[in-house]
């Protein structure tokens, strides 16, 4: 191998090494750019498991459902300020002879966002609780019942709102007999006789 051939071989080896490094840098730069170019992802709301709730027949019991909105996101409250925004709403499908009482939504926080700096929006952020009344009728057989429902919400970040999503919700209720009614003894007179 001549000196010229050796020098040419060394140059080709350096060029291949530089090409390999350039390819690695290109791949690494592409990997760091790709997540920024990906469209933002809609938030996923979570619900905390509800402990077993015991309720008497013919009595309404309030059940708290605790939800969490991830940091950096918000969802419209149950009463958004614009007719174009989708409200957060809980729909329940209860077993026969158990009726749904009042659903109590928390008030929304009034905040402004870059996409609408001139108007305050009513939203939920972080943790929030929806309370609902579960009312087993007198005809319900005592036992455990599963309540199923769906929370429909529209999530947003500071730049945009996403299509609405549905979060399945379920919890268990133990229905027990109501205490026996106190009956007055008709043989006793309520008046004192002397």
Give the pLDDT confidence of 144-166 residue by residue, as tens digits: 999 999 999 999 998 888 999 99
Residues 61, 5 within the same domain: no
Q: What is the pLDDT of residue 28?
A: 38
Query: CB neighbours of 85 closer than 8 A, spacing ≥ 6?
Result: 76, 121, 154, 161
DSSP characters over 5-33: HHHHHHHHHHHHHHHHHHHHHHHHHHHHH
Q: How much is the pLDDT for 18?
A: 42
**Domain assignment of residue 15, given as a range:** 1-38
How do residues 38-70 score in pLDDT, each as one tens digit?
557 888 999 999 999 999 999 999 999 999 999
Contact residues for 61 (Cβ-Cβ < 8 A; gap 6+): 53, 54, 55, 133, 134, 135, 173
Q: What percent of the chain has pLDDT over 90?
A: 59
Number of domains in the chain: 2
Identify whether 190 is part of a domain.
Answer: no
Contact (Cβ atoms closer than 8 angstroms) between residue 131 and residue 64: yes
Determine if the pTM surpasses 0.75. Answer: no
Identify the helix (H) or strand (E) that includes residue 107: none
Q: For the domain that residue 111 is a member of, what is the CATH number? A: 2.60.40.1250
Structure tokens at 70: 């991830």
Q: Assess contact for 119 and 81: CB atoms under 8 A.
A: yes
Residues 6+ apart with CB under 8 A from 143: 174, 175
Does 171 lie in the same domain as 153?
A: yes
117 lies in the same domain as 29: no
Residue 14: CB atoms within 10 A of its CB come to 10
Same-domain status, 28 and 101: no
Residues 100 and 18 in one domain: no
Radius of gyration of the chain (CA): 32
If asked whether residues 81 and 17 sit together in one domain, one would say no
């Amino acid at each position: 191998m001549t000196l010229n051939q050796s020098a040419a071989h060394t140059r080709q080896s350096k060029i291949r090494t530089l090409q390999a490094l350039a390819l690695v840098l290109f791949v690494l730069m592409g990997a760091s750019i790709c997540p920024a170019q990906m469209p933002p992802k809609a938030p996923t709301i979570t619900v905390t498991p509800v402990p077993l709730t015991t309720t008497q027949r013919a009595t309404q019991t309030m059940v708290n459902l605790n939800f969490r909105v991830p940091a950096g996101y918000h969802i419209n409250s149950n009463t958004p300020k614009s007719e174009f925004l989708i409200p957060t709403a809980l729909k329940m499908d209860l077993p026969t002879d158990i009726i749904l009482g009042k659903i109590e939504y928390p008030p929304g926080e009034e905040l402004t966002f870059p996409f609408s700096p001139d108007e305050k929006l009513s939203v939920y952020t972080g943790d929030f609780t929806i309370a609902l009344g579960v009312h087993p009728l007198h005809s319900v057989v005592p036992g455990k019942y599963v309540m199923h429902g769906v929370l429909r919400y529209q999530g947003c970040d500071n730049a945009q709102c996403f299509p609405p999503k549905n979060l399945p919700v379920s919890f268990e209720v133990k229905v027990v007999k109501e205490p026996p009614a106190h009956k007055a003894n008709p043989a006793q007179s309520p008046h004192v006789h002397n």
